[in-house]
Amino acid sequence: MADKEDRNPYSYSLGAQGFFPYNTPGSPAHTSTITPTPSSPAYGGGAYGNQGQMYSSIPHRYPNHIHLGQKLPGHVLQSPQLNHAIPTYQQHLSHAATTAVPAINSVGASVSGQVAGPHHQKQMDSVILSRQAASPHHHARVAAAAARTGMSNSESNGNTSCVGSTVDPSAKASQWTIIDLGGMQMKNISRNLFGYTFLTTLYLNHNALASLSPEIAKLTNLVVLDLSGNRLSSVPSELGMLVSLRELLLFDNELTFLPPELGQLFQLETLGLEGNPLNEPVGSMIQKEGTNAVVTYLREMCPVGPPPADREWIPLEDEYTADSKDTFTVMCYNILCEKYATPQAYAYTPSWALNWDYRKDLLLQDILNYSADIVCLQEMQMDQYEDFFRDQLSQLGGYEGVFFPKSRARTMAEYERRQVDGCATFWKANKFFLVEKHCIEFQQFAMQRPELRKAEDVFNRVMIKDNIAVVALLENKETHGRILTANAHLHWDPSYKDVKLVQTAMLMEELERLGNTWSRNAPKDAARNSQDVARVPLLICGDFNSLPDSGVYEFLSSGRVPQDHEDFGTYTYGPYTSEGLQHKFALKSAYSHTGELEFTNFTPQFKGVIDYVWYSTNTLSVTGLLSSVDREYISRTVGFPNAHHPSDHLPLVVSLRVKSPGAPTTRVLRFQ
């Protein structure tokens, strides 16, 4: 958070005796020898993801969760030698495992002589450590002692310099991300605590809390939450929104049940439940099968909440009629193909909601309900196109379509080819007919350009990606006007911004070539299209896997990017990096009229805009568009897909009008 350093935790008291952020001046644990806080990465991992966590290099009984990089105004950061300062959590468990522990057959009930399984033993070992942490600020004091030990070892070795430190000695302060409020016998917690959204670890153990505020859900960066040794008879369902949690300790409370929303905690590694009178089957499941089994059970049993409110239609022009011959609607939708929707990638989604048979029916329903005249779908598998969507959309929606798979399908056997995804474009057969179709394979395009073949980075980075774009030239049956429609899906990896920019450059070059060719071949009555390709109505839909601040967005919207654009990095791509990029079309993102949506792709790791509908502004105008999903619904959702949304992407729906020379620019909108 930008204002993190302005938030002084000593400006008010959260407990009977205050609280101690680790190594904060004035705390019992204070020391000047600390480990700096690593900066969080931008999006990365998965399609897009914010998976970076603030972890310390200091071993502790809870590995990777203790961080000593806190605010220390005026203190010099030294190079601590703390690797052997205190035992790790695994060392604690190894020691505890050698001691006699009473076995139990239900959480909290002891049965002598019964051999504990590994999951049961882990619960018992962990609860022993938890009970040993009942003194005030136990974790902060242990960390401070470890820091002092490390500093002492460093000084005894004559190492008093800052050599090896990753922080400038002149730095004013580093950030703290951990608060220890344990062992204070607090009955209430100030709401101000929930404003510390940067926290990664929060110890509230061994207090007298009888309830926990749902506002705990604001602490979305929490990795460790310890609520052990309180008087909790329940925990709020909002706890399930803390999807970064890896350790949730609820030992020694009065819990009889867990909210099923905890099943959304797909990254949870340790769920401490020993010492609670839990109902079955959770009570025995945590002992016999462990944390993952309990989380999975809760996720699968979680009831489906109310669906979101219908997305509103936003009119952008005042005067036009919905049945105008020159108007049409377009949908752009990445449908998340069956092959990519794995339980590993979407572990927060119940298996039944991730199942393709369930999702494909919702996808079909979405397409038919919006009933767009042109539908551009990405991540369409060949078998699903041939066996389901082509026939269903024809019979139920009056659509015709064209599909091309990604380039890898060229070298595969028939069975394997049918599992390859690609792009599919559909159109209402009563409004348009297909004049021409073409598949732009970026691999093949690069091979056909001698100046690109000479660039080594083209082979090492571009040629290994088999993304495509499907181009369809559609003609309006009534007006004979033609629309050049492109449906693209660019490479996903954020570390390949250069490749996305190169793929977009190839896309625009090929669209210009196709536009010139098809315009020359058009019959005289085929439209008011000029021979100038820039006057061809152009529609580009797709999943560009690029944010609005990317080079791809800049190139499409402005028509050019310089040869030294930062997205090219240090890579060389022939004329692209020696001369820069430019295209002739005056393009605009349809949603830029109202400001791009808050997101078009929504997962726990990433929430942002990467899907777009681009149109040529000199030949087309936007008359309306579909708004985003209800914010209240999003606030209680960890990510898509879920029971209501079959893909991790949102469908974009836009209404456009083909401009006529001399025609007024505003008309009445009545979208139905």
Catalytic center residues: 543
Can you tell me whether residue 51 is helix, strand or coil?
coil
Asked if 187 and 211 touch (Cβ cutoff 8 Å), the reply is: no
Q: How many other C-beta atoms can be found within 10 angstroms of the C-beta atom of residue 3? A: 7
What stretch of H or E contains 631?
helix 631-635
Query: What contacts 352, CB < 8 A, 6 or more positions away?
Result: 300, 358
Q: Can you give the length of the chain in residues?
A: 672
Asked if 324 and 243 touch (Cβ cutoff 8 Å), the reply is: no
Spatial distance between the Cα atoms of 52 and 248, rounded to a whole number of angstroms: 19
Distances from the Cα of 660 to the Cα of 126, 327, 528, 664, 669, angstroms: 73, 11, 8, 8, 17
Spatial distance between the Cα atoms of 236 and 2, rounded to a whole number of angstroms: 29
Spatial distance between the Cα atoms of 214 and 635, rounded to a whole number of angstroms: 13
By C-alpha distance, which of 323, 434, 317 is closest to 374? Answer: 434
What CA dihedral angle connects 30, 36, 40 and 45, to 10 degrees?
A: -110
Spatial distance between the Cα atoms of 474 and 467, rounded to a whole number of angstroms: 23
What stretch of H or E contains 224?
strand 224-226
CA–centroid distance for 562 within its chain: 30
**Does the bond joining 537 to the residue before it have cis omega, within 30 degrees of 0?**
no
- Measured over the CA atoms of residue 244, residue 247, residue 252 and residue 255, the dihedral's sign is positive
What stretch of H or E contains 502?
helix 497-520
H helices within 98-239, ranges in order?
A: 118-131, 138-156
Q: Where does residue 642 rank: exposed (0-12), middle (13-18), buried (19+ CB within 10 A)?
A: buried
Q: Where does residue 73 rank: exposed (0-12), middle (13-18), buried (19+ CB within 10 A)?
A: exposed
Spatial distance between the Cα atoms of 278 and 258, rounded to a whole number of angstroms: 8
Look at phi and psi of residue 290 and say left if phi exceeds 0, alpha if psi is from -120 to 50, else beta.
left
Beta strand extents in 323-452 (DSSP E only): 327-334, 374-381, 399-405, 421-428, 432-441
Spatial distance between the Cα atoms of 458 and 351, rounded to a whole number of angstroms: 40
Spatial distance between the Cα atoms of 521 and 516, rounded to a whole number of angstroms: 9
Q: What is the DSSP letter of 380?
A: E
Q: Give the tokens for residue 455.
A: 């660039």
Spatial distance between the Cα atoms of 457 and 461, rounded to a whole number of angstroms: 6
**DSSP per residue over 107-126, as a string?**
TTEE-TTPPP-HHHHHHHHH
Can you tell me whether residue 588 is helix, strand or coil?
strand
Query: What contacts 560, CB < 8 A, 6 or more positions away?
Result: 580, 581, 582, 583
Which residues are bridge partners to 476 per DSSP? 432
